[in-house]
């Protein structure tokens, strides 16, 4: 296990190097640069030249590349001129918000997806199966931002009774600092509901399809028939024998859905005004705030690589047949 983990971590190095290289190249090819973002007749050409110098933009490409590589290895991405503060601070503020949002969405994806999928398989071809299949396909094909906007319009509607309304933007309420600790927790939780739902629901629909298939396959196995034949109650057959085995292939989906989650967070964070990494990246790209773009892309890359590793390790944990060494 340890050797396997170590090998996978080593394999991650070339992948991350690839990410860095691609990002540097893409930014280099993109028109405009931070200095044009600063375009203003009152800013003298000398200052713009100095900005270019500070960012190393006047260096040849390979030297710029080496500068970025150094940043990645030291973790010091320098200074965000868009936000007027160190990149490390930008990340420190944004990363927890994104992680919380992603974690809650992930939970939603798998809990809801597995529950619905399992239920569909158990009641195969029933009205319930057909109805939920229709709904999940509908949700699956809906763009996340559109769903987000619809949720926003619905849950902020003045026509809705006050108790049913949910916060549609931000992480906390304006009067957060005056709240008691329990109230604060509730306030944060309420703010999470809509964005995590909008971010996760399409993937949950996807997972439910996989789960339905996996569960159906397990249910047709001999050992399920054996379990039934020896007189186990149906709930025990489903929950203890079928569900646990059906979950094994689902774990590998984790590695598939995490990148989707981070990608989706860019749009969802903008729609729900969620101050996370996705939005930091989005704003940084528009402002050609290269240091933030680099840091965010790299971090997303690290998160995805790491998540894939965890998924593979989990796979080995849940399925004793798979050995990692």
Partner 1 sequence: MSRPEARTSSLVRRTALAAALLGAGACAEQPAVESGRDPTSVPVAERYGGTAILAGLGEIQTMNAFFSRDYVTDQFQAYVLFTTLLRYDDRLQPEPYLARSWSVSPDSNEVTFRLRTDMRWHDGAPTTARDVAFTFDRVKDPALPYPNRSAFDAWESVEVLDDYTIRFTLRPHADFLHGWTALPIMPRHILEDTPVEDLASHPFGTSQPVGNGPFRFVEHLPGDRWTFEANPDFPPDLGGRPFLDRLVYRVIPNETTLFAELRSGGVDMYVRVAPVFVEQIAEDPELRLAAYPFPNYSFIAWNPRRPFFADRTVRRALTMALDRLELVEVVRHGLGTPAVGPVGSWHWAYDSAWRPLPYAPDSAAAILERAGWRDVDGDGIRERNGVRFSFELVTNESRERGAIAELVQGYLARVGVEARPRIREHQALISDVTSPERRFEAFLLSWTQGMVLDERDQWACDRIGKPLQFVSFCDPALDAVMDSIPRATDRAVQRHLIRRYGTLIAEAQPFTFLYVEKRADALGPRLQDVAPDFRGELAGVRNWWLLRP
> Pattern 256-295, binding to partner 1, x per CB under 8 A?
--------------xxxx-xx--xx-xx--xxxx------
Structural contact between residues 279 and 257, judged by C-beta atoms closer than 8 angstroms: no
Q: Please state, in angstroms and rounded to a whole number, the distance separating the CA atoms of residues 168 and 209.
A: 29
Among residues 8, 52, 67, 165, which is the contact residue for partner 1, using CB under 8 A? 165
Q: For residue 130, what is the enclosing H or E element?
A: helix 127-140
184 forms part of the interface with partner 1 (CB under 8 A): no
Q: Which residues contact 165 (CB under 8 A, 6 or more apart)?
A: 155, 156, 157
Helix (H) or strand (E) holding 79: strand 79-80
Q: Rule CB under 8 A: is residue 170 a binding residue for partner 1?
A: yes
- Smallest gap, in angstroms, from Cβ of residue 52 to partner 1? 13
Contact letters for partner 1, residues 28-57 (x by CB under 8 A) = --xxxx--xxxxxxxxx-xx--xx------
**In angstroms, rounded to a whole number, what is the distance separating the alpha carbons of residues 151 and 61?**
45
Q: How many CB atoms lie within 10 A of CB 6?
A: 10
Q: Which of 133, 156, 252, 324 binds partner 1 (CB under 8 A)?
A: 156
Q: What is the dihedral sign for C-alpha 219, 222, 226, 229?
A: positive
- How many residues does this entry show for the chain? 325
Q: Which of 10, 125, 175, 321 binds partner 1 (CB under 8 A)?
A: 175
- Smallest separation (angstroms) from partner 1 to the CB of 115: 30
Residue 215 C-alpha from the chain's centroid: 26
Q: With CB under 8 A as the contact rule, which of the stretches 27-35, 126-134, 136-144, 241-249 interacts with partner 1?
A: 27-35
Q: How many residues bind to partner 1 according to rule CB under 8 A?
A: 57
How far is Cα 80 from Cα 34, in angstroms, rounded to an integer?
11
Query: What mask, x for binding partner 1 by CB under 8 A, covers residues 83 to 122?
Result: xxxx---x--xx----------------------------
Kindly list the residues in this chain that would bind partner 1 in the complex (CB under 8 A). Answer: 30-33, 36-44, 46-47, 50-51, 79, 81-86, 90, 93-94, 149, 152-153, 156-158, 165, 167-172, 174-175, 177, 270-273, 275-276, 279-280, 282-283, 286-289
């Amino acid at each position: 296990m340890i050797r396997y983990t170590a090998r996978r971590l080593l394999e991650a190095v070339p992948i991350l190097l690839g990410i860095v290289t691609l990002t540097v190249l893409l930014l280099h090819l993109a028109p405009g640069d931070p200095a044009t973002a600063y375009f203003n007749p009152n800013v003298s050409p000398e200052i713009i030249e100095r900005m270019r110098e500070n960012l190393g933009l006047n260096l040849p490409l390979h030297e710029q590349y080496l500068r970025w590589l150094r940043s990645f290895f030291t973790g010091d991405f320098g200074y965000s001129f868009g936000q007027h503060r160190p990149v490390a601070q930008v990340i420190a503020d944004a990363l927890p918000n994104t992680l919380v949002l992603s974690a809650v969405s992930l939970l939603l994806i798998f809990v809801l997806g597995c529950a619905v999928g399992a239920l569909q398989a158990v009641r195969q071809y029933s009205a319930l199966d057909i109805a939920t299949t229709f709904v999940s396909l509908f949700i699956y094909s809906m763009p996340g931002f559109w769903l987000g906007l619809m949720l926003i319009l619905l849950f902020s509607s003045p026509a809705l009774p006050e108790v049913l309304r949910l916060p549609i933007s931000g992480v906390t309420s304006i009067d957060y600092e005056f709240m008691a600790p329990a109230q604060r927790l509730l306030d944060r939780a309420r703010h999470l509901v809509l964005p995590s739902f909008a971010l996760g629901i399409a993937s949950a629909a996807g997972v439910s399809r996989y789960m339905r298939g996996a569960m159906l396959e397990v249910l047709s196995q001999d050992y399920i028939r054996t379990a039934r034949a020896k007189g186990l109650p149906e709930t025990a057959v489903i929950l203890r024998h079928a569900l646990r085995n059906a979950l094994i292939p689902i774990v590998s989906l984790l590695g598939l859905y995490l990148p989707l989650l981070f990608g989706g967070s860019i749009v969802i964070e903008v729609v729900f005004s969620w101050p996370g990494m996705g939005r930091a990246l989005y704003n940084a790209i528009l402002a050609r705030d290269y240091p933030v773009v680099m840091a965010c892309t790299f971090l997303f890359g690290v998160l995805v690589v790491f998540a894939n590793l965890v998924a593979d390790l989990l796979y080995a944990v849940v399925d004793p047949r798979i050995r990692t060494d």
